[in-house]
Amino acid sequence: MSSDNGEQGRLGKIRSGWRRLRREAADKSHWAAERLLDRRICIGITGLSGAGKSTLLTSLIYQLSHPDRAQLPGFAPALNGRLLGAELHPALDTGLPPFEYERCLDALKAVPPRWPGSTRDLSAMELHLHLQGRRLGRDFRRTVVLELRDYPGEWLMDLPLLNLSYAEWCRHQGSLLEGELRSSLAPELIGRLQALEPGAIVDSRLLDSLWQDYRQFLRDCRSIHKLSYLQPGRALLEDAPYGVLPLPGAGRLSEGALEALPETSVYKVLAERYRSYVDEQVAPFVESHFRHLDRQLVLVDLISTLFAGESSLDDMRLAFRHIADTFRYGNTGLLRKLWRPQIDRLVFAATKVDQVLAADHDALRQLLGQQLQQAFSSARHRGLPLYCEAIAAVRCSNESQRDGRRILVGHDMDGRRLGFENAEILPHSPDERDWQHYAGGLPPQLRPPQGIGREGYIPHIRMDALLNLLLGDKV
């Protein structure tokens, strides 16, 4: 009987695998030829909180759609006149809502100009790049479909949950809550969480109250201390009724003791919420989204993090380390291009470099590279090409001189003209003495420049270099 059951199990797995392949074949048959011929590239775009993802997407689409107005000398197709333009199309086959490009562009063109709103959900679009080439003495035209998939950076922080049980997550979060920044921000809340007994009978009203306070605590971690590694990520967004709370007291009990607790205990109720969150929110997103990606772009507001202090930079490095192994990556061979592509290039970009002098841009790129090196060392060994760049999707400042010193000139969010300078960016992780170097406070938030619509182009810094990293080998 056991032999028959084993045979049936193997046959079931074969049938299940075959059905999965058939589903994937049907799902991708409409663009299989494009992928084989490198005429379709799927890029995931996200960013750690406040990195300016909507602005980046708007600028990227605009630059490629208006090569006659764009300033892209570092992007060979634009420089050589081979980029004829681009057309934006909805990505109908993805079933995802379109990125609201026109709304974001209108915000930048408004009088006074304003920044586009933050991303709150998944979106997708297709940008059809029209290129001109020459082969055997004859001109020809071809189209490369750039599929852009955009998702909130808060969701990125949830990816490590796929590899953690609830007990493991509680132990990890418990150690974070004991850190100086988090513990000083909400000592009463953390005390209430630490006082929760895993074996106590659950009080739903108490857990709901803690959940609302915990959500506000995570928002404060982000806004006040510029922390990056915040979980659950969706708690930072509106309409997040998941109630996933860390239970620091779980770290005091063994796995066996935790599993022996009654189903009505605090631990078992929170563990079930955690499992539901991972199974119903995180895992489906990863399976439906990442299996399509060829490349991934992650935006980082490294300048704000750096000026927020040592703990903020340490927290960003921690976030990098924990997401490093959750990306699907590897060399994309012929068959894998069709059936289950993997990310073959991961690009990190430090944004808003118009907040520092041009002389500091290369140092900022080196600093970002240093933070990534250690976190992604195992990924590099497994064949993942990792790149970093420093950009401003929309340049809001210009350089001038005051009393013989280089300064930046721009406008604050109320339209007042500013002249300011920041501490020099060091190209390495600051040591104890270096942190005093950054003690002058965060750079001011700048407003988009006036006249984007009238001038006909969007000023930027190194968007052409970013396009080369993402597309240079394909176009």
Band of residue 278 on the pLDDT scale cut at 50, 70, 90: very high
Both ends of the chain: CA-CA distance in Å? 59
pLDDT tens, position by position, 435-456: 988 887 788 999 999 988 676 7
Residue 307 is assigned to a structural domain of this protein: no
In the three-class reduction of DSSP (H, G, I as helix; E, B as strand; rest coil), residue 387 is classed as strand
Task: Out of 231, 253, 286, pick the residue that ends a domain.
Answer: 286
Q: Tell me, what's the pLDDT at 380?
A: 54
Cα–Cα distance between 48 and 316 in angstroms, integer? Answer: 9
Which of 128, 120, 39, 145 is CA-nearest to residue 84? 128
Task: Say if residue 392 is in the same domain as residue 264.
Answer: no
Task: Say if residue 31 is in the same domain as residue 78.
Answer: yes
Task: Say if residue 168 is in the same domain as residue 106.
Answer: no
Task: Say if residue 143 is in the same domain as residue 181.
Answer: no
Residue 318 is assigned to a structural domain of this protein: no
Domain coverage including residue 375 = 24-155+295-301+329-471
Q: Tell me, what's the pLDDT at 330?
A: 47
Which amino acid, one-letter code, is at 63?
Answer: Q
* Pair 4, 256: CB distance under 8 Å: no
What's the structural domain count of the chain? Answer: 2
Task: Say if residue 343 is in the same domain as residue 357.
Answer: yes
* 134-141, Cβ contacts within 8 angstroms, sequence gap of 24 or more: 141/84
Q: Tell me, what's the pLDDT at 2?
A: 45
* Pair 232, 277: CB distance under 8 Å: yes
**Which of 14 and 126 is assigned the larger pLDDT?**
126
Query: What is the arithmetic mean of pLDDT over 8-15?
Result: 65
Task: Out of 286, 315, 347, pick the residue that ends a domain.
Answer: 286
Task: Say if residue 150 is in the same domain as residue 171.
Answer: no
Q: Tell me, what's the pLDDT at 6?
A: 56
Most confident segment among 8-12, 32-36, 101-105: 101-105
Query: What is the arithmetic mean of pLDDT over 263-271?
Result: 96
Residue 308 is assigned to a structural domain of this protein: no
CA quadruple 252, 253, 255, 258: dihedral sign: negative
Task: Say if residue 171 is in the same domain as residue 146.
Answer: no
Q: Tell me, what's the pLDDT at 19?
A: 63
Task: Out of 252, 286, 320, pick the residue that ends a domain.
Answer: 286
Task: Say if residue 81 is in the same domain as residue 166.
Answer: no
* Pair 351, 299: CB distance under 8 Å: yes
pLDDT tens, position by position, 160-201: 998 899 999 999 999 999 988 899 999 999 999 999 999 999
Task: Say if residue 32 is in the same domain as residue 149.
Answer: yes
Decide if pLDDT at 31 tops 90: no
Band of residue 332 on the pLDDT scale cut at 50, 70, 90: very low
Query: What is the arithmetic mean of pLDDT over 362-368?
Result: 96
Cα–Cα distance between 452 and 435 in angstroms, integer? Answer: 37
In sequence order, the β-bridge partners of residue 427 are: none
The structure's pTM equals 0.86
**Which of 115 and 5 is assigned the larger pLDDT?**
115
Residue 410 is assigned to a structural domain of this protein: yes
Which amino acid, one-letter code, is at 446?
Answer: L
Cα–Cα distance between 150 and 96 in angstroms, integer? Answer: 10
Task: Say if residue 150 is in the same domain as residue 167.
Answer: no
DSSP state of 437: G
Residue 376 is assigned to a structural domain of this protein: yes
Decide if pLDDT at 336 tops 50: no
From its phi and psi, is residue 19 left (phi > 0), alpha (psi between -120 and 50) or beta? alpha
Decide if pLDDT at 17 tops 80: no
Query: What is the arithmetic mean of pLDDT over 383-395?
Result: 90
Q: Tell me, what's the pLDDT at 452?
A: 85
